[in-house]
Structure 1
Amino acid sequence: MPKRGFTLIELLVVIAIIGILSSVVLASLNTAREKAKVANAVSQLRQFRNVVALYFTDTGQYPAGCGLSCTASTDPYLNALGVPGWNGPYFAGGVWNLEHPWGGHFTIDSADLTGDGQPEMYFFLDEDAPGTNSSDNTGIIPLSALLAIDKTLDDGDLATGNLRGNGLGFTSAVGELVYAPQF
């Protein structure tokens, strides 16, 4: 009576096929996860633009900056800080401890980014996590995500336009993004 069963080669082939299928599925999941992070970041940047515009409408001035050194008590989106016309809070929970989808800090500030002598409001997706110093570097944004965000909000070129990143302008370092929308 012949023995029933699988040979070692047949088992190895089946295991190899399962391994290949698993890697294809995992690659698809990672791509979908990265697209979701990009969509989340784009949505947050658009929301920030609207919040700053509302703040300006209420007060006649742009808000003070809120970055790594900002706290709950100094966050201009949570506290009036003596600004006439302030009608907030403008951002639930504030900006002081807000993370972007890759784990870095969101900063909202103003500076003369274009060299015309006038400060522009900008949104900075920093690679440093909230509550850390500027050498944390745990929230680096992948280049593919930076390009996708730029393509959605601007001109698709990280070295030109209102959105710069990956060390190509507006004080951004590799893995960071600076967005200075028109108001």
Structure 2
Amino acid sequence: MQPNVLSPLCNNNWDIAFMKNRKMGWLGSTAQRGFTFIELVVVIAVIALLAGVLIPNVTSVTKDAKASKILQLYDSMRTACERYYIDMGSLPIEYSGSSYNSASYHLLSLTQSSSNWKGPYIDHPLSTGDNPFDSTVYLYNSIGSHASNGFDLNGDGTDDATGTGNYLVLWGIPSDTAQFVDSALDKGNLGSDWKTSGRVEYVSSEKKLAILILDA
């Protein structure tokens, strides 16, 4: 008797069935397929939702960090000005910018000729790097035009701090950052306009923030 040998036609049919079974996963293999249109829409919607939640939070954290840097500068300069005043009996200045490299513009950071000077009172000369928005920053010792001629400390519409006094002026500061600083120093409750009352003043048109440090 002839052995039962599958014909070539039978072999082909079996191969086709085998490949079909593999494609459908009947032999334990995992079917490979792409995303459907609906699945892609769902994924995109989830990404958009997460972006809407995360991006504002990141922006807020960045804004708060820059405002905190200004507050840290205020604290360090206040301590330095107080120490300088005790030693020298006068108020210092400290200017940023390449036009002010001499020691006469850096009374807190660069060695002075007076024997009463016991500095440095800050660890480096004031520079644009101390402004979180990389713009100019100055420490003045005479309250004048850079601070609207005075500071209305009581919020009653009258400038209480005028004449001699230390105050910081920073340029390039956005309004929301300036308001954050104001809320920390003035608690945001002096007068009807936070920009013109208290220790913090702000000029929107110039993005100029002025902070009173010492009123001598």
Do these two structures clear the TM 0.5 threshold for a shared fold by scoring above it? yes
| Length, aligned pairs only | 165
Write the mapping of 1:29-178 to structure 2, written as runs, cut at 5 A: 29-68=58-97, 69-71=99-101, 73-74=103-104, 75-112=106-143, 113-114=149-150, 118-126=163-171, 140-156=172-188, 157-167=194-204, 173-178=205-210
- Percent identity over the alignment? 23
Amino acid at match of 1:119: T
Return the offset for 1:22.
Answer: 2.5
Instruction: Choose between structure 1 and 2: higher helix proportion.
Output: 2
Which of 51-60 and 72-81 deviates more? 72-81
The C-alpha deviation readout for 1:98-121, integer Å capped at 9, x for no partner, is 431122222101223327762221
Q: Which runs of 5+ in 2 are unaligned?
A: 1-23, 25-30, 144-148, 151-158, 189-193
Return the offset for 1:64.
Answer: 3.4
Partner Cα distance (1:72, 1:97) in 2: 16
The C-alpha deviation readout for 1:6-51, integer Å capped at 9, x for no partner, is 3213212212221321232122111111111111211111111111
Secondary structure of 1:181's match? strand
Partner Cα distance (1:13, 1:174) in 2: 46
Amino acid at match of 1:57: I
Partner Cα distance (1:102, 1:66) in 2: 16
Partner Cα distance (1:88, 1:102) in 2: 28
Partner Cα distance (1:40, 1:65) in 2: 18
Instruction: Choose between structure 1 and 2: higher strand proportion.
Output: 2
Q: Could you tell me whether the CA contact under 8 Å between 2:128 and 2:134 is conserved in 1?
A: no
Q: Which runs of 5+ in 1 are unaligned?
A: 127-139, 168-172
TM-score by length of 1: 0.77
Secondary structure of 1:180's match? strand
TM-score by length of 2: 0.66
Which of 43-52 and 23-32 deviates more? 23-32
Return the offset for 1:85.
Answer: 0.6
The C-alpha deviation readout for 1:34-83, integer Å capped at 9, x for no partner, is 11111121111111111111111111111134243321644212223333
Question: Which protein shows a greater Rg?
Answer: 2
